[in-house]
Amino acid sequence: MTILLLIHSYLRWAIFIVALVAIIKFALGWLRGGTFQGMDRGLVSGFSGLVDLEVTLGILYFVWNGIAQTGFPLFRIEHAVTMILAAFVGHLPARWKNADDKTRFRNSLFVVIDVLIIIFVGVAFLPGGWSR
């Protein structure tokens, strides 16, 4: 199960890189009044998909390690609940698929920023936080 934790730990950096690309792309699209196209939809989907994968790996590790070894300490429960909330928020752009392009860029930008904030708080719940 160590490999699962290792993948789970490193995937957060892939999420961070995709989030930075998304923030730049959505901010430029919003400020310049661009057209929300296939790449933008793919960026939103890719970001939420990575967050989903991260949450899925985390839940698998949570259950496996909780049953097999350490139980379910409060910090792991808080971390899991926070990350599930991040995944939920990450899917909100799908609600605005019929909105105008400027609104979609703005809303997607704020969703990505919000998810990053929630992830930051969720990792901070862990012993060692971001130093892990």
pLDDT at 132 over 70: no
Please state, as a whole number, how many other Cβ atoms lie within 10 Å of the Cβ of residue 110: 16
Domain that holds residue 30: 2-131
Residue 5 has which token pair?
Answer: 């934790």
Query: What proportions of the chain, in percent to the nearest 5, are helix, strand and coil?
Result: 85, 0, 15
At 22 the pLDDT is 96
Q: How far is CA 66 from CA 52, 58, 74, 109, in A?
A: 20, 12, 11, 36
The model's pTM is: 0.89
Number of domains in the chain: 1
Residue-wise pLDDT for 45-93, tens only, equals: 999 999 999 999 999 999 988 888 878 888 889 999 999 999 999 999 9
Q: Which tokens go with 34? A: 């661009």
Chain segment 104-127, per-residue pLDDT in tens: 999 999 999 999 999 999 998 888
